[in-house]
Structure 1
């Protein structure tokens, strides 16, 4: 398990590197403490007994303002990047404990004036939940089966400037902890909150760069993706099941900010053998549990990073217990002009199936 989460952690660092390595001019740096007041969403009936009160959390952010030395920074109205440390009390110290996370993020301003900003922030990294499920010592914790998890943080905020160095913000956020079905149970922890923050800039603010030169327009790219993962199932007695996926995708750019992507997936999920047997359906060979599907994704392009949100439908699947549709969320980061790193989460609606960690190759670029 440590190797798996080390790989995920390295991908988070690669995400941060891809967002920041081109930011070589002088930047404005700020420190931002933020407090949250929220609750755990009881998205399953078996969770309500664990919710004892409201969740109080604190985060400390290291915030860096981009200045437009790359075209994508100007395209997105000069976003900021940073690293966030999060710690929250889950209001149930005996069964849930606390949740802690460290993750890089990007913050996009939809409105950016001298006195006011309206921002959207998204990031992901590594999280830690102090109390997990145990068959004898903590059997009522039906939410999380592992201490180490992924953390995903989203935030919508209004930011007001009080002086050259001091800003205040009011926002709503959603923080999610999950292990991607690596270890059961894995219902996940979803924490919506209202929050207040103070942003203090260190040093003088540098000037934005405005470059009016045109850039090469992209038409479409074709990718091959190969990835793998590991999962547990509720009937699998803590056994780890390997998974594989091979995909071909065509990304059609609508603008420099991204576009739509369509493709075909071929899945191998070794847990399906046991799932089918649980329902008295038996197979003759492993080829019978191979699944295929067609997917459609919306892709946001931020420099070398592609952030994707997608949905697919199974074309071939002997196992019907997950329904017709599957979903995918995550990112792909370009290493060079041909190769990329893939880290996505395959789900069935809001239920995680498994992480897909692997590589991609650009076959065609037009």
Structure 2
């Protein structure tokens, strides 16, 4: 777990506090050296946010609570039996996933220098022991899931609208760390109906706001947890409210062998569309 504090030295942004859970994937590990990739997610708190009357220049942060994503490359070299010198470069991202607008978000590149304490060095979990092979490598699976999210249409309207989706994904575990997946999904964004009602002329029929897409993706596995990345293309999209493709990044956890949940961020051309809370079943 990581606790992060920033002072932006700017009265429009103020300060931020965040708590993040993260995983380290080791690319190199010897008795004295480690090279890791850190991936994490959590919640950030901003005491100062957008306010139409008192802080209208803050187009970056409009809600006090925000999701945070952390990505960092780390090099650790032993300087004693338990202490390691840590060097790294990283990126911290803060966004509320368009639940409240405006929401440009913050991306903070960082250079890291610090100390690590190792209770045991070198550390060798079961998954790195030579000869360890998960039983389901080469097996196919099917995931059925649904999501719930909400978003604000624009900064002038404070009302939130529900967004739902249903997803069917077929996948295959190809090695110890990876699943490859492909699937279809449907979306229903009630905020798009409100958007149409504000602009349509009297008597005009509303365009169908339901969307359907196909996707391909990858799951980076850490035991019961996985980092999910998807790239999708809309194949049914009558109401052209966004680009023809979308991306998704998420953190997935298997509560049991069959039941899983995840928190996903759906994105259009780098701009957050909605945070999805997902529950599903593996068959």
Matched, 1:182 2:102: no
Q: 1:235 to 1:284 in 2, by over 3 A?
A: farther
* Distance across 2 between alignment mates of 1:275 and 1:96: 30
Deviations 1:184-233 (A, max 9, x none): 1111111011111111345x658646463544133111010111101012
Q: What's 1:133 paired with? A: 50
* Distance across 2 between alignment mates of 1:180 and 1:207: 37
Q: 1:238 to 1:207 in 2, by over 3 A?
A: closer
Tell me the SS of whatever aligns to 1:312: strand
* Distance across 2 between alignment mates of 1:256 and 1:201: 25
The Cα shift of 1:310 comes to 1.1
Q: 1:339 to 1:236 in 2, by over 3 A?
A: farther
Q: What's 1:91 paired with? A: 9
Deviations 1:152-191 (A, max 9, x none): 1111111111111211111111001111111111111110
Q: What's 1:353 paired with? A: 273
1:1-366 equivalences under 5 Å are: 83-92=1-10, 94-201=11-118, 205=121, 208=124, 210=129, 212=131, 214-218=133-137, 219-234=139-154, 237-278=157-198, 280=200, 284=205, 288-363=208-283
Return 5+ residue gaps in structure 1 as ranges: 1-82
Kept after mapping to 2: 8 A contact 1:276/1:319: no
* Distance across 1 between alignment mates of 2:133 and 2:3: 38
Question: Could you say which structure has the greater relative contact order, defined with CA pairs below 8 angstroms and 6 or more residues apart?
Answer: 1
Moved over 4 A (4+): 204-207, 281-286
TM-score normalised to the size of structure 1? 0.72
* Distance across 2 between alignment mates of 1:283 and 1:245: 27
Tell me the SS of whatever aligns to 1:321: coil
Kept after mapping to 2: 8 A contact 1:345/1:355: yes
* Distance across 1 between alignment mates of 2:204 and 2:174: 44
Q: What's 1:34 paired with? A: none
Return 5+ residue gaps in structure 2 as ranges: none
Kept after mapping to 1: 8 A contact 2:91/2:110: yes
* Distance across 1 between alignment mates of 2:226 and 2:77: 30
Kept after mapping to 1: 8 A contact 2:151/2:160: yes
Aligned residues: 278
Q: 1:335 to 1:239 in 2, by over 3 A?
A: same
The Cα shift of 1:91 comes to 2.4
* Distance across 1 between alignment mates of 2:136 and 2:197: 52
Q: 1:213 to 1:86 in 2, by over 3 A?
A: closer
Which has a greater percent of helix? 1
The Cα shift of 1:309 comes to 0.8
* Distance across 2 between alignment mates of 1:238 and 1:190: 25
Q: 1:216 to 1:284 in 2, by over 3 A?
A: same
Could you say what the CA RMSD is over the residues aligned between the two structures, in angstroms?
A: 2.0
Tell me the SS of whatever aligns to 1:241: strand
Deviations 1:260-308 (A, max 9, x none): 211111000001113334554887469x211111111111111111211
Q: What's 1:27 paired with? A: none
Tell me the SS of whatever aligns to 2:195: helix
